[in-house]
Amino acid sequence: MNQYIAYCGLNCEACEARLATIRNDDGLREKVAKLWSELNGVEITPEMIHCEGCRMDGVKTPYCDALCPIRQCALAKEVETCGSCAEVQTCEKAGMILGNNEDARRNLGMEG
């Protein structure tokens, strides 16, 4: 599986936080921090926008690194992605993404 597909099926290659990191683009970091702050109702600073990808070695945003319940579960279960977990169809954590994101389901090899 493409190493840039996150445990939940989102495509890290297209993530603006990853793009800002690999391009060292402070303007994009500011844009992402502002948007994510508004969407999540918490302060996210441009300094937090450093990520190389959910399943990749390297730096991650604070949320992706330590707070994302999907990533933490997949790491604990030692699965490649949620798509390889036997409980994915009934999982509330994975359902946060997979319940309304057809691209994520497709990326994990699940029916749309």
Task: Evaluate whether residue 100 is within a structural domain.
Answer: yes
Per-residue pLDDT reduced to its tens digit, 27-75:
999 999 999 999 989 999 999 999 999 999 999 999 999 999 999 999 9
pTM for the structure as a whole: 0.89
pLDDT digits (tens, 9 = 90+) for 2-34: 899 999 999 999 999 999 999 999 999 999 999
58 located within any domain? yes
Residue 59, in any domain of the structure: yes
Residue 64 carries which DSSP code?
A: I
Q: Domain count of the chain?
A: 1
Task: State the average pLDDT over residues 71-88.
Answer: 96
Its sign, for the CA torsion 105, 80, 84, 78, is negative
